[in-house]
């Protein structure tokens, strides 16, 4: 089954039309494919390559370089826990371990309910707010084990709490559409 068909093909064409050189539309097209499939499949990369006149190898090189492109199924909520030095000193390693306990076995893939994927990351660039956890690239700062539990409960109910700074996250597909340049209606 084709990835870029119907409305998605029209959206892909609109994205490509924004750029004087079609190859410049590669990142937004990959995010668009990811929004439709939940992750970036080989078929999505192949179709993006065809639309842009690139080789599949060129597209795969880009997709494997950027960590925001997920190459395997991902839950609606991607929970990234920073365990780099600043966050680790402030409890980031323990938060990650606690998240594993709360979410259970296989959380680094997708939880059994399909809601959450857990990942450990090196740095989220918000050391002053450590320990930092991101949900679909929205930062939650100075988390404790208790506030982490509340965050996970909200995610499981598809109602994450608002972070102290920035907008409330949307699900992974919606985040990918925002990153594709398809608009963001959050306040």
pLDDT mean over 169-179: 96
- Assign 1 a pLDDT band (cuts: 50, 70, 90): confident
Contact status, residue 44 vs residue 30, Cβ threshold 8 Å: yes
Rounded CA separation 26/156 (Å) = 32
C-alpha dist (Å) from residue 114 to 38, 78, 107, 161, 173 = 11, 11, 10, 19, 13
Q: Are residues 48 and 113 in the same domain?
A: no
Predicted pLDDT at 187:
60
- Which tens digit of pLDDT belongs to each residue from 99-133? 999 999 999 999 999 999 999 999 999 999 999 99
Which residue would you say has higher pLDDT here, 187 or 66? 66
CATH number of domain containing 67: 1.10.10.1590
Q: Are residues 60 and 89 in the same domain?
A: no
Contact status, residue 59 vs residue 40, Cβ threshold 8 Å: no
pLDDT mean over 62-87: 96
Peptide bond into 131 cis (omega under 30): yes
pLDDT mean over 39-57: 97
Q: Which residues lie below 8 Å from residue 182, measured CB to CB, with a gap of 6+? A: 11, 32, 35
Q: What is the mean pLDDT of the chain?
A: 95
Q: Are residues 50 and 104 in the same domain?
A: no
Q: Are residues 86 and 54 in the same domain?
A: no
pLDDT mean over 162-174: 93
Angle between helices 56-65 and 42-52 (to 10 degrees): 120
pLDDT above 90 for 34: yes
Does 176 fall in a domain? no
pLDDT mean over 85-109: 95
Which string of DSSP letters, residue by residue, matches 108-168?
TT--TTS-EEEEEES--S-GGG-S-EEETTEEE-S--HHHHHHHHHHHHTT-PPPPSSSPP
Which range of residues forms the domain containing residue 47?
Answer: 7-71
Q: Are residues 54 and 93 in the same domain?
A: no
Q: Are residues 108 and 43 in the same domain?
A: no
Rounded CA separation 157/159 (Å) = 5
Contact status, residue 99 vs residue 145, Cβ threshold 8 Å: no
Q: Are residues 81 and 155 in the same domain?
A: yes
Q: Are residues 114 and 61 in the same domain?
A: no
Contact status, residue 5 vs residue 11, Cβ threshold 8 Å: no
Q: Are residues 67 and 86 in the same domain?
A: no
Does 183 fall in a domain? no
pLDDT mean over 131-155: 97
pLDDT above 80 for 186: no
Predicted pLDDT at 89:
95
Predicted pLDDT at 185:
80
Does 122 fall in a domain? yes
pLDDT above 80 for 180: yes
CATH number of domain containing 137: 3.40.30.10
pLDDT above 90 for 172: yes
Q: Are residues 98 and 118 in the same domain?
A: yes
Does 57 fall in a domain? yes
Per the structure, the count of domains in the chain is: 2
Does 168 fall in a domain? no
Torsion of CA 138, 166, 32, 9, to 10 degrees: 160
């Amino acid at each position: 089954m084709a990835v870029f068909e119907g409305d998605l093909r029209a959206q892909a064409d609109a994205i490509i039309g924004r750029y004087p050189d079609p190859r410049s539309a590669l990142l937004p097209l990959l995010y668009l494919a990811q929004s439709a499939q939940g992750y970036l499949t080989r078929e999505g990369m192949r179709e993006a390559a065809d639309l842009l006149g690139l080789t599949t190898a060129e597209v795969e090189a880009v997709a494997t370089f950027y960590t925001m492109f997920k190459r395997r199924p991902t839950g609606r909520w991607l929970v990234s826990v920073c365990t780099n030095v600043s966050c680790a000193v402030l409890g980031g390693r323990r938060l990650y371990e606690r998240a594993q306990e709360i979410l259970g076995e296989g959380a680094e893939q997708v939880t059994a309910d399909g809601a959450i994927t857990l990942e450990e990351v090196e740095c989220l660039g918000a050391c002053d707010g450590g320990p930092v956890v991101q949900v679909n690239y929205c930062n939650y700062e100075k988390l404790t084990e208790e506030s982490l539990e509340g965050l996970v409960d909200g995610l499981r109910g598809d109602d994450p709490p608002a972070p102290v700074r920035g907008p409330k996250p949307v699900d992974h597909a919606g985040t990918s559409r925002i990153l594709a340049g398809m608009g963001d209606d959050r306040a």
